Amino acid sequence: MDASAWPMLLEGAWTTLWISGISIAIGIISGLGIALLRIAKIPVLEQCLVLYISLGRATPLVTLTLFIFLTAPSLGLNMDRSLAGILALSLNTTAFNAEVWRGAFNNFSRDQREAAMACGMTSFTCFRRIMLPQMVITSLPGLVNEMSFLIKGSPSIAVIGIVDLTRVTNRISAVTYEPLPPILAAAVLYMAIIGGLIWLQRIAERHANRLAI
């Protein structure tokens, strides 16, 4: 593979990184919101959220991406490729993150919540100062695992014309007729991105453990 291919690969990696990064941020925040709404057990709304989570986890990313990109114009929505890709990835990861957050909430000790209430804390203050920090620590491995799956599933956005790392790899292979070198280079870049996530997770866990001592 010619050295001139590396700038293209790095540009594709950047596209994968920023689209996945925005989707991950949306998915973590909206997943927490959906988990809290499910825990509130509001009639009808809870059933709707369960249906969304089930569909979101069961629908392949490629199918969801194509559905959003092809359906949006018929609904009068002018949505470019990047926005459609972010929306598809966000909807998918939100469904998974909601279950991660709900599991963390269910594992929270009820005694701590009752003790906080007995000390005069409001429900919101108890959640913000006691529950949420512990939920973040508990759910961190699951959230990072979902981030990794999302990045590995992000090549699905290439089907709507987004030039991500996988699409760049295919283009280079088509020009050079040597598929193995660009594929190996792309694999190294994907491993670097996901390895960076795991490294950040370990730093966060060490920091949280020091604060807990």
* Total domains in the fold of the chain: 1
The parent domain of residue 96 ranges over: 5-212
162 with 79: CB under 8 angstroms?
Answer: no
Give the pLDDT confidence of 185-199 residue by residue, as tens digits.
Answer: 999 999 999 999 999
Where is 132: in which H helix or E strand? helix 132-153
Give 213: exposed, middle or buried? Use CB within 10 Å, 0-12, 13-18, 19+.
exposed
Q: What is the pTM of this model?
A: 0.90
- The C-alpha atoms of residue 72 and residue 87 are separated, in whole angstroms, by 11
- The C-alpha atoms of residue 184 and residue 201 are separated, in whole angstroms, by 26
pLDDT at 212: 53
Residues 6+ apart with CB under 8 A from 37: 45, 46, 49
Give the pLDDT confidence of 113-152 residue by residue, as tens digits.
Answer: 777 777 877 777 888 888 888 888 889 999 999 999 999 9
Give me the CATH number covering residue 86.
1.10.3720.10
